[in-house]
Amino acid sequence: MTEPSPQGDWSRPDPAVAPRYEPLPEQRPHWQANLQNEPSTPERWFEPAPAAVPAAADPRRSPGRGLVGVFLATSMFGAVIGGGGTFLVLKGAGALDGPAATAVPGGGTGVSIQSESSAIIEAVQKVGPSVVMIVTQETGGEGVGSGVVYDVGGWILTNKHVLAGATSIDVRLKDGRDFKGTVYGNDTLTDLAILKIDGASGLTPAPMGDSSTIQVGELAIAIGSPLGVDYPNSVTSGIVSALGRDITVAGDASSSGTNLHGLIQTDAAINPGNSGGPLVDASGRVIGITTALADSAQGIGFAIPIDIAKPIMQQALAGENLSRPFIGISYMPIDRGLAAKNNLPLDHGAWIHAEDQTGNPIEAVVAGGPADKAGIKTGDIVTSIEGQPIDPTHPLEDILVHYAPGRTISVELYRDGKYTTVRLTLGTRPTATG
């Protein structure tokens, strides 16, 4: 600092003499004259100045002592900032902290990832070894899709449309080994299928997540073979851009297509070869099975939530036929818009209602089906299943999927201004049911 203190002065040191910080009163006019043109800074910039006490009134304090105090205080302040301030700043910003334990979807704890790229790398390292390429020979040529190993016994989850029409199926593991695959069964509710390979040792099952806990905006990673046999285990990333989407997947020559409900929408790049591969969250757990991309838009794809797949995965492990529960109704999920448009008494639930192609109401309960036997009628509103309320977050089909055919459940209805509860024994969903 080059400015003078109002309480003292100090001379420029003679090279032949040891530096001294003593005031030289007789040189004050000359010193002040030399500094008249230099810029000044606020007096005592680091602390308020105390009330001035004339030197003559306080013999214990000389102008030089005040200047020495300022100099020493300034030096100590600079040492703190230079020597320890940087550490304190970095510590306060968390740059010196290690990873912190945080809750992760599906339970348990995980390590918080400091960057998106780190999360993707760790997730791919966890799930990548479980992703397989599925090559099918068909009448029209060769098809390529993906799948994910979920059990060391050779059980693989994939898309039904990946296997449709195949005359032979080859499964290629990430380590390059090839195995013949056989179709264990197709899901009658969704575009899912279970594939089995035998004789494969050292398989790595993918960790399964909880799709009921995912949120719009969180990281989503797709792994598969979008470019065919020459580019396996390709990784793309994006976010979960929406939940609860409904689409129709085109069928083959033997079917008109499949209506899919409650899908995960993502902007992670998904191409035909990705079909059947996993959609993974930031913790490296499978939250969905990619199934389709939107032909009319770019950057939009869909995945079947893994919670919907879990029942058939368990059935396969138990040696049971793949089956889904069936109640035999057509319905419309109620929201405020539908309630206002149709003058419904409730703004939530499942309205048992169907219309023909011209928009006229038709019978919505399958004759002789489980709902018909339980006394459910067209126009009723199903409000809960086994005590679980039906609302936009918990649609009827997502609740039913957790129950096996043959199970008897309680169904609460709203009819003619009153609530009533009936007992219904679930049937088995027919293969042709959309």
Could you tell me where the beta strands, DSSP code E, fall in 90-165? 101-103, 109-111, 131-138, 141-151, 155-159
- Structure tokens of 334? 């109620």
For residue 68, report the phi and psi dihedrals to the nearest 5 degrees.
-60, -40
C-alpha–C-alpha distance, residues 242 and 245, integer Å? 7
3-class state of residue 289 by DSSP: strand
From the list 239, 214, 209, the residue with the least C-alpha distance to 300 is 239
The position carrying tokens 């899919």 is 260
**Which tokens sit at 60?**
């214990």
Task: Kindly give, in sequence order, each residue whose CB lies less than 8 Å from that of residue 241, ignoring residues fewer than 6 positions away.
Answer: 216, 265, 266, 267, 300
Contact predicate 244/272, CB 8 Å: no
Quote helix, strand, coil % in the chain, to nearest 5. Answer: 20, 35, 45
Bridge partner list, 247: 260
Give phi and psi for 372, each to the nearest 5: -60, -45
- Indicate the Cα dihedral angle 109, 114, 115, 121, nearest 10°: -50
Compute the C-alpha angle 99/103/107, nearest 5°: 135
Q: How many residues comprise the chain?
A: 434
Residue 269 contacts by C-beta under 8 Å, 6 or more apart in sequence?
Answer: 222, 226, 236, 238, 299, 301
| Angstrom distance (rounded) from CA 65 to CA 54 | 13
Residues whose CB falls within 8 Å of the CB of residue 407, separated by 6 or more in sequence, listed in order: 325, 425, 426
Residues labelled as active-site residues: 161, 191, 275
Tokens of 221: 């990673």
